[in-house]
Amino acid sequence: MPKILLAQAKPRLLDKQSNLETMEQFIKSAYKQEADLVLFPELFLTGYFTREYTREMAEDLNGPSIQQIRNMAKRYRIKVVFGFPEKKENRLYNSACFIDEKGEILGTYQKVHLWDEEPKYFEAGSSFPVWDTNIGKIGIMICYDTEFPESARTLAVNGAEIILAPTANMAPFQHVQQLYIQTRAAENQIFVATTNQIGVEESTLFFGESAAADPNGQLLVKAGDQEQELLVDMELNLVKESRKFPFYLKDRRPQHYSISKEMESIEIN
């Protein structure tokens, strides 16, 4: 049974060293609680509003901060998923890095649905990878991705049993975050968990309320608006159990989910 620790915290903007120290505190705590994986918020390595410093703060997978986190994962024998600005082939992405308990990088996910001003600083990703690990098949979506049913559905169709969502979600969207997590879990009959940032950056309030839901859409845990860690047990047999009846993925009829040529040319305002 996978045990995942949701590490809800406030990063210091543009202060990687401080954020790495915070990450190690949570990773050490997760190790003591015998967790299998720690999930940090979106862009936690740098803070969210990197703006004109984004390129300067970005790292590729050989970057010094990434190496430090790899060392932490190996030292404490725990998987880590965290958000960071990724430099890849001279392009910048709002990414999540997935490191295993041996300190090996399993891969990165580049955010597909960019929010508000993010396209000024990042390019959009183009795929939803699923990693087959020793604690289950895991996919990642980042924050705004959660609000698009296609994100989670793509991961589920590709075999994901668990979706992890690093998030930097701000007021006044408290009322929909929990709704989306439970809905994405129920409609795909998988586990979904999000870790959200807290605190104020610039004038924006990040409200926390990190949460996880099971394959029936039942809420498993929910945080408040302060620094907090939540340990979530995920019984993967529930994925198969929930799909005995109904089985939404099997009953899909994708051949009928098409957009007419007339609608393709219409701009949606």
Q: Would you say residue 13 has pLDDT above 60?
A: yes
Taking residues 69-97, what's their average pLDDT?
A: 98
- Give, for 174, the enclosing helix (H) or strand (E): helix 174-188
CA 77, 158, 60 angle in degrees (round to 5)? 50
User: Which residue is listed with tokens 């999000």?
Assistant: 194
pLDDT per residue as tens digits for the range 226-262: 999 999 999 999 999 999 999 999 999 999 988 877 6
Q: How far apart are CA 127 and CA 182, in angstroms?
A: 23
pLDDT over 80 at 263, yes or no: no
131 closest CA partner among 167, 115, 155: 155
The single residue of 10, 16, 42, 209 carrying the catalytic annotation is: 42
Note the pTM of the prediction, 2 decimals: 0.96
To the nearest whole percent, how much of the chain has pLDDT over 90? 95
Mean pLDDT of 78-88: 99
**Res. 264: pLDDT tops 70:** no
**Strand pairing partners for 132?**
137
Spatial separation of the C-alpha atoms in residues 48 and 84, rounded to whole Å: 9
Q: Which of 101, 143, 161, 229 is catalytic?
A: 143
Q: Strand, coil or helix: what is 133? A: strand
The 10s digit of each residue's pLDDT in 99-130 is 999 999 999 999 999 999 999 999 999 999 99
Q: What are the structural domains, with CATH classification, of the chain?
A: 3-256 (3.60.110.10)
Tens-digit pLDDT profile for residues 151-168: 999 999 999 999 999 999
Active-site entry in 10, 16, 87, 111: 111
Q: Is 120 a catalytic residue?
A: no
Q: Is 97 in the active site?
A: no
Q: How far is CA 57 from CA 89, 247, 248, in A?
A: 15, 44, 42
Of 78, 102, 62, which Cα lies nearest the Cα of 24?
A: 78
**Active-site residue flag, 10:** no
Buried b (16+ CB within 10 A) or exposed e, 10-36: bbebeebeebbebbbebbebbbeeebb
